[in-house]
Amino acid sequence: MAHGLSPSSSFDQVFALCKRVFFWWKGIVKTHLGLKAFQPFNGVLAVGSSLSFLLALACAYSFLSPRVQQQADVAASYGPPVPNSSVVTDCNLFEGSWIQDQGYIPLYNSSLCPFAERGFNCLANGRKDQGYLRWRWKPKGCTIPSFNARRVLEKLRGKRIVFVGDSLSRTQWESLVCMLMTGVDDKRNVYEVNGNKITKRIRFLGVRFSSYNLRVDFYRSVFLVQTGSVPKRAPKRVKSTLKLDKMDDISNEWIDSDVLIFNSGHWWTPSKLFEMGCYFQVGGSLKLGLPINTGFKMALETWASWAASNLNTKRTTVFFRTFESSHWRSVSHILILTLCH
């Protein structure tokens, strides 16, 4: 945990929940989809969100090519190897740890990226320390070569990458776009497809790299499953429902993608559900006494079933981000944004 970071009680509740659900979930995704899961970053969120996706993307590249070229393609997506490093054919990129490296060069400057939200521009907002920029992922037994934006852009030419989830997914999306921007000469060729400014209130944001025919999209779906109105004869405390057996009504828009990254977890708390009058529903029945951890498990089962039935895994590589630290903390019961990209 970052120095001075004090997670809120809501985070503690959900983190405990996700630890219980994680081993169940791991079996579900491996059984249904053969998906990969990797370790979340429990240090500074700023580097954790952006670089943890870099790790996921590195693996995604290998799956976009024939199996026999997996490791070669991973290496080809990056720049020259770090001296004294070894990229071996049996390297498991999903097993390793985050290490501090004072010589590590940040992959982008958020002040120079038009797609970085003002609230997440730490340096521009006056943050003095820069230690949070010096973390990198180190797999066991090998080292990931340096990121090379131009090679990655070429690798992703003609592709569509889609992020689905909550604000943690959105900030990962922002980080990837900013990382790729460093490899583009004419920045005017990179734009949000609807001309929207980057904001948490929009359900869809898409950035197009026109020179590469590449799209990087984000869909806000904090629960992944569908929200509903109040059923007839529901108690007064029920203001809305979460349909655990139905995927979000925008899920069809995620199917036509080459790389698809999901996350969920931080909204599965009493303060975001029951205290707001949102209760679980299955079919036409309210489940007022259903615990949050059980509801989360049912939602993930719905997600896994949807993915297995609707996605062409010969084309689409799927990732589900495991739980990670929140980018909020509680001080005197006031939530303050403390860490950013």
In order, the DSSP letters of 4-40 are T----HHHHHHHHHHHHHHHHHHHHHHHHT--B--PP
Q: What's the one-letter identity of residue 51?
A: L
DSSP 116: S
- Three-state SS for 51-111 is HHHHHHHHHHHHHHCCHHHHHHHHHHCECCCCCCCCCCCCCCCCCEEEEECCCCCCCCCHH
- The CA angle 320-322-326, to the nearest 5 degrees, is 125
Per the model's pLDDT, the better-predicted residue between 13 and 338 turns out to be 13
HSE value, Cβ hemisphere, 13 Å, CA-based, for 256: 5
**How much of the chain exceeds pLDDT 90, in percent?**
48
**Residue 254 is encoded by which pair of tokens?**
């995620």
Mean pLDDT of 279-307: 96
The pLDDT confidence band at residue 71, using thresholds 50, 70 and 90, is very low
pLDDT score for 124:
83
Least confident window among 66-75, 144-153, 193-202: 66-75
Cα–Cα distance measured from residue 306 to residue 309, given in angstroms and rounded to the nearest whole number: 5
Cα–Cα distance measured from residue 54 to residue 57, given in angstroms and rounded to the nearest whole number: 5
Contacts of 9 (CB under 8 A, 6+ apart): 330
Burial of 219 per CB tally in 10 Å (0-12, 13-18, 19+)? buried
Per the model's pLDDT, the better-predicted residue between 55 and 297 turns out to be 297
Cα–Cα distance measured from residue 161 to residue 215, given in angstroms and rounded to the nearest whole number: 6
**Alpha-carbon dihedral angle through residues 175, 177, 183, 187, given to the nearest 10 degrees:** -130
User: What radius of gyration, in Å, describes the C-alpha atoms of the chain?
Assistant: 20
Which residue from 39, 144, 146, 58 is spatially nearest to 98, judged by alpha carbons? 39
**Residue 67 is encoded by which pair of tokens?**
């199996």
pLDDT score for 10:
38
What's the pTM value of the predicted model, to 2 decimals? Answer: 0.74
pLDDT digits (tens, 9 = 90+) for 85-110: 444 457 888 889 989 988 888 899 88
Residue 38 has pLDDT above 70, yes or no: no
Mean pLDDT of 8-28: 43
Contacts of 214 (CB under 8 A, 6+ apart): 153, 156, 157, 158, 159, 160, 161, 180, 208
Mean pLDDT of 296-315: 96
pLDDT digits (tens, 9 = 90+) for 244-279: 999 999 999 999 999 999 999 989 999 999 999 999
Residue 120 has pLDDT above 50, yes or no: yes
Helix (H) or strand (E) holding 198: none
**Residue 239 is encoded by which pair of tokens?**
């203001």
Mean pLDDT of 315-324: 86
β pairing state of 317-320 and 204-209: unpaired
**Residue 73 is encoded by which pair of tokens?**
């393609």
pLDDT score for 230:
92
Average pLDDT, the chain: 76
Residue 165 has pLDDT above 90, yes or no: yes
